[in-house]
Amino acid sequence: MAKARASYICKSCGTHHQQWSGQCNACGEWNSIVEQRMPVATRSDAGVASVPLARVEDHAGNRRSTGLAEFDRVLGGGLVEGGLVLIGGDPGIGKSTLVMRAAAALGTAKRPVLYIAAEESPQQIRMRARRMGLEASDVHIYPDTEIGGALAEAQRINAGLVVADSIQTVRVEGLAAAPGSVSQVREATLQIMQFAKTAQTPVVLVGHVTKEGTVAGPRTLEHIVDTVLYLEGDDFHAQRLLRSVKNRFGPTFEVAVFEMSGDGLHEVPNPSALFLAERDARAPGSSVAVPLEGTRPLVVEIQALVAPTAYALPKRLATGFDLNRLHMLLAVLSRQADVQLGNHDVYVNVVGGLRLREPAVDLAVAIAIASSERDVATGPQVAAIGEIGLSGELRSVPSAAQRVREAQRLGFERCFVPATSARNGASDGVGAANLAEALELALT
C-alpha cells in the first residue's frame, strides 16, 4: 500500500525541500540537506470524499479509563481513542511511574499496551513495574528507538495504547539529525499522530523539560498534540501535581494530586486534608488559604515567621509564593494595618511544596505574617480568602462561594472573605472590607 518517495530535509533546521541544493534557504546552513525516503500512501484517484459534519465519526465519546480516577479527571474523563497526550516534567519527577500505572490498567490480553522503551532498558522498566506490583500486566515492551518499526509492531499486536518513553529518545529512520533535536522530535511526533488518528488508538508521549537548547523540550510539541499535561513537584516532597495546560477533549488547568511512595504514585483524593495534616492551629504564624487549582479549591496552610533582623537590610524569603508580591503585602501591612516590619526578617512558606500564583491567597499570607508579628494564633477554625489592593482594600476573587464551601467542609467555620463577596450573597463567609478589619477579626 505504501511506496517510497524521495524527499529532502535540512539536517539542521528540519525544513522540507522539493529538491537537493547546497544551501538551505531556510536556515542558511551549507551542505545540510539530505535525502530521506518517506513512505507515502498511494491513492487510486485524485481526491478523498468529504463528509457532512453531522456524519463525521465521533470517537471522543469513547473514553478509556487509566485506572486512576484523578488522572482520568485531568484528561476530561479518560483517554480518547486516537488522542495524542504529552506528559511533560522534570527528569526524575515520576512520569514513567505514572504512565506505567496507566499502561498496566489499560492493557488487556486482546489489546495489550505497546511501551516503546526508547530511554530505559526493558530490564529497568521491568524493575519499576515489579516495584509497583504490576509485573504481570499486559504491557509489551518494544526494545528499540526507531519509530516506524514501533508503530508497525503496535499495529501487529493490535495495541490498545501506545506509550513512547521518551519522545526525545526515539528516532525517525532516514532522518540524519540527532535524536532529541527539534526535527527528530517533531517528525517522530507527526508520524505518531498519523498512526493515532488512523488506528484510532490513544498514544501517550513522555517528554522531559530541558533547560538547555540542544534537546527539544515538550514546548516544541504543544501545538501538535491534543492534550498537554505537566507533572510537577520537587525533590523534598512526595506530592506531585498533574496539571493540564491544553486539552482538545476536556477542561484545561485541571489539577490532580498524587503522592510518590515506595511502590509507585498513588492518588490523593482529598488533597486538602494532606496539606493540613501537620498543622498546629495554636501556633502563631499559621493561617489557611483556599487557592483554586484548576476548577477545584484546595485548602492549604501558610506559615510565616517574623523575627528581629541581625542585618542592616532585613531578609525576606518566600517559598511557594511570589517574592515581589510578598514585598507588596509587607508595604500594605505597614501603611494600612500598622504592622511594622522594617526591622524584622520575614519568611513565608506554603506548606506541602505547592506554588501559589493566585492573588486570592493574599489575605491568608498577610494574616500569617501579622499573626507571627503579634504572637497571636488565629484559632483552629479560621481560613482567609481575598486579594489585597494597594490601599488595603479586600478585592473579590473568582469562585468565592466554592472556596468557602471547601473550607467549611474541612471544619473552617470562620472563613473571611471580601465584604463584596459576603454582601452579594456569593458566599456565607465572614465579610471584611479591608485588611485592618480582617486582622482585627482573625487575630482576637
Binding site for ligand TYD (CB under 6 A): 89, 91-97, 128, 131-132, 260, 262-264
92 binds, among Mg ion, ligand TYD, none (CB under 5 to 8 A by kind): ligand TYD
Min dist CB 131 to ligand TYD, Å, is: 5
Q: What angle (nearest 5°) sits at the alpha carbon of residue 335, between those of residues 330 and 338?
A: 90
The smaller minimum CB distance to Mg ion, of residues 96 and 201, is found at 96
Task: Supply the DSSP symbol for 335.
Answer: H
Rg, Å, the chain Cα set: 27
**Nearer to Mg ion among residue 242 and residue 388 (C-beta):** 242
Sequence-ordered list of residues with C-beta below 8 angstroms from that of 413, at least 6 positions apart, any chain? 381
C-alpha cell at 365: 499570607
Please give the helix or strand (H or E) that residue 95 lies within, else none. Answer: helix 95-106
91 vs 133, beta carbon nearer Mg ion: 91
93 vs 368, beta carbon nearer ligand TYD? 93
Name residue 2's amino acid. Answer: A
- Minimum distance, C-beta of residue 89 to Mg ion, in the bound complex (Å): 9
Are the C-beta atoms of residues 297 and 277 closer than 8 Å to each other? no
How far, in Å, CA of 251 to CA of 229, rounded?
11
| Residue with smaller CB distance to Mg ion, 164 or 354 | 164
Q: In the complex with ligand TYD, which residue's Cβ is closer, 70 or 81?
A: 70
Q: How far is the CB of 93 from Mg ion (least distance, A)?
A: 9
Rounded to the nearest angstrom, the gap between the alpha carbon of residue 108 and the centroid of all alpha carbons in its chain is: 28
Stretch that binds Mg ion, among 3-11, 19-27, 89-97, 167-175 (CB under 5 A): 89-97
- CA 307 – CA 316 distance, rounded (Å): 11
> Cβ atoms within 10 A of the Cβ of 432, count?
22
CB of 187 to ligand TYD, least distance (A): 23
Judge whether 251 and 236 are in contact, CB under 8 Å: no
Query: Is the Cβ–Cβ distance between 306 and 372 less than 8 Å?
Result: yes
Distance in Å, CB of 228 to ligand TYD, minimum? 15
- Torsion angle in degrees (nearest 10) through CA of 43, 46, 49, 50: 120
Q: Which is nearer to ligand TYD, 163 or 377 (CB)?
A: 163
What is the distance of C-alpha 413 from the center of its chain? 31
Measured from the CB of residue 161, what is the shortest distance to ligand TYD in angstroms? 17
The minimum distance between CB 417 and ligand TYD, in angstroms, equals 39
Binding span for Mg ion by CB under 5 A among 96-104, 142-150, 265-273, 380-388: 96-104
For residues 227 and 209, what is the distance between their CA atoms, to the nearest angstrom?
A: 16
Name the binder of 132 from Mg ion, ligand TYD, none, CB < 5-8 A by kind. Answer: ligand TYD
Of the pair 207, 297, the CB lying nearest ligand TYD is at: 207
DSSP bridge partners of 440: none
List of E strands, 291-384: 292-293, 296-297, 300-308, 316-319, 344-350, 382-384
Please state the closest distance from residue 165 (CB atom) to Mg ion, in A: 6
CA dihedral for 152, 153, 155, 156, sign (positive or negative)? positive
- Residue (9 or 87) nearer to Mg ion, CB: 87
Least distance from Mg ion to the Cβ atom of residue 180, Å:
14
Burial of 30 (0-12, 13-18, 19+ CB in 10 A): exposed
Cell numbers representing residue 30 in the block: 551549507
- Rule CB under 5 A: say whether 96 interacts with Mg ion: yes
Distance CA 66, CA 121 (A): 24
Tell me how far, at minimum, the Cβ of 348 lies from Mg ion, in Å: 33
Of 236, 231, 276, 278, nearest to 258 (Cα)?
A: 231
Nearer residue to ligand TYD within complex by CB, 261 or 391 = 261
Site residues, Mg ion (CB under 5 A): 96
